[in-house]
Amino acid sequence: MPSVLSIVLLALAVTAPSTQDGEAPPILVTRQLAASEGLEQGQIIRLAPDSRGEGGRPFRIAGVYEPVPDPARLGTLPREVRLHLPDLLALTRLPDVPAGTEYVEAINIALVDPAEARNFARDLNARMPGVSARPAAEAAGSGATFQVLRRFHLAIALVTIIASTVFLLALTIMLVDERRETVGLLRLIGLPVRRILVQIFLEGLLIATAGGLIGLLLASASESLINAFFQWRYDTALVFVRITPYVAAACLAVAVPLGTIATVTASWVLLRRNALRLARR
């Protein structure tokens, strides 16, 4: 089967469906384009290389597809069609360009083993000077826009964690200070400071773990709601929130130690006081 390319219909004219039968080449249209223009599978439409409709050719809609979500195009409707490469060249070829002399700026190559993409790109660059080959994953994730967004999200996460830790420590100190009489009684009956600290450590570990799990449950419960709202708002299949095992493990790895350390630190400040002063209120 010939290669397939997609072209944006910003400069293409789509006329009303025709009822004539013919050997019209098949094309695919995006779901958004089909909904906005009232197109259906099996209809015959005419595509032209300019908005005036001159030089248009008939095509048969062979199917409707959902375009691959692209964060860089969020907020824009993907009004696209996919044509076989010979049909696309015949439609867009300039009158003074002989057939077979067209050129392309970029092509995508699907490998049998995607893990060999890096080695394939390195070998192709060495064999064909002037050709720049790189894995699609690196090409999509190495843009300046995504690098800026990644660093921005990292900065927000760090500031949020630091501010939350300070607030958690202050709240823990207040809660521990409310229990100073109980701690003073434990000291007076002979319990060593180390044992009290171990008990407080276990208690803080349990509370921090429970809090982290509750937070993950709330995030998982709201994940589908957030995705459904923004997918409806922007008419896209892009996934905005995804709670993966790695994300859940990272959240617990940050929340549990911070909660436990805050509890132990606040309790250690309290345990350094005299037992009689702790028991007396």
Task: Please enumerate in sequence order all residues whose Cβ is within 8 A of that of 171, keeping only pairs 6 or more positions apart, or say none.
Answer: none
**Angle between helical axes of 193-234 and 180-188 (0-180°, round to 10):** 150
DSSP character string of the chain: ---EEEEETTS----PPB-----PPEEEEEHHHHHHHT--TT-EEEE-SSTT-TT-EEEEEEEEEPPPP-GGGTTS---EEEEEHHHHHHHH--TTSPTT----S------SSGGGHHHHHHHHHHHSTT-----HHHHHH-SHHHHHHHHHHHHHHHHHHHHHHHHHHHHHHHHHHTTHHHHHHHHHTT--HHHHHHHHHHHHHHHHHHHHHHHHHHHHHHHHHHHHHHHHHHT---------HHHHHHHHHHHHHHHHHHHHHHHHHHHTS-HHHHH--
- Dig out the tokens for 250 from the structure: 């990272």
Cα–Cα distance for residue pair 122/134, rounded to 1 Å: 8
Contact 67, 116 (CB under 8 A): no
- 7 half-sphere exposure, CB direction, 13 A CA radius: 18
| CA separation, residue 166 to residues 55, 112, 171, 210, 230 (Å) | 68, 52, 9, 20, 33
Residues of the chain with pLDDT under 70: 1-22, 137-146, 176-178, 180-188, 190-191, 269-281
Cα–Cα distance for residue pair 118/123, rounded to 1 Å: 9
Cα–Cα distance for residue pair 66/203, rounded to 1 Å: 51
Residue boundaries of the structural domains of the chain: 4-105, 109-141, 144-279
Contact 124, 131 (CB under 8 A): yes
pLDDT value for 138: 67
Q: Name the residue among 90, 89, 79, 82 with its Cα closest to residue 26.
A: 82
pLDDT value for 104: 73
